[in-house]
Every structure is written in structure tokens, then in C-alpha cells.
Amino acid sequence: MNRLIYLCSLTISVMGCPSRESALDCFYKKADRNHDGRISFGELNNAIDQYLPWYKRIPFKTFGGVARIMADCDADGDQFLTKSESVLTKDSCLETCFKRSSTIYIFDCK
């Protein structure tokens, strides 16, 4: 686990911290499967299943998983995520460099 944290820190320090906008663009590009401009709980679950390796799913679920993302990023509580809500959730949704870097890495955005 310490090696993973070190590698993530090293990657972030070499690459720099991605902007919140670039992480959100990546997230919506990959997770919005039906391209309606919003991400449902089901779409998010499917995206996690597709992009997150099996060995990372246990820690992901331990720290709240999809329900945590919805709680952090769904500003109006309608069970859908939209880019316009991201403006309202800047203190809870992809607020750290680690979360933004991880999003871009997991969803394989360049």
C-alpha cells in the first residue's frame, strides 16, 4: 500500500495536478454511456466495472464507492450527475489533486 501511495505521489509530482475541468471532461466522456449529458447511478456503476481493475474495487467500495461519488457530486439530489452541478460541488466533487489524477488515470484519458 505504501508503494502505491508513493507511486501516485510521484506520478502527480511529475505530471502536475490536472485541472478539475479536465478531470470532469474525462469522467463525463467515459461514464455518460447514453450521451444525454447526465450520469445515472447505473451508468456510473457500469463505468466503474469497466474501467476500475478488480483489485481496486474493494478499497473503492470500502471508501464509499459509487454511493460516495453520488453523495459528493449530486448537488440537487436527483440521482443524476451533470456538469452544471459540478460547479456547485467544487468543495466535495473531485476537489483534490489525488481524485482528479486518479479519475484521469482510471478512465484512461490522455
Total domains present in the chain: 1
The answer as to whether 11 is a domain residue is no
Residue 12: alpha-carbon gap to chain centroid: 16
Kindly state the cell numbers that stand for 12: 502527480
The answer as to whether 85 is a domain residue is yes
The answer as to whether 43 is a domain residue is yes
The answer as to whether 22 is a domain residue is no
The answer as to whether 61 is a domain residue is yes
The DSSP code for 17 is P
- pLDDT per residue, tens digit, the chain (110 aa), is 555 554 454 444 456 999 999 999 999 999 999 999 999 999 999 999 999 999 999 999 999 999 999 999 999 999 999 999 988 899 999 999 999 999 999 999 97
Q: How far apart are CA 56 and CA 4, in angstroms?
A: 11
The answer as to whether 71 is a domain residue is yes
The answer as to whether 104 is a domain residue is yes
Kindly state the cell numbers that stand for 39: 450520469
Provide CB contacts within 8 A for 98, sequence distance 6+. 8, 12
pLDDT confidence of residue 67: 95
Nearest to 22 by CA among 107, 92, 88: 107
Domain residues for the domain of 73 are 38-110
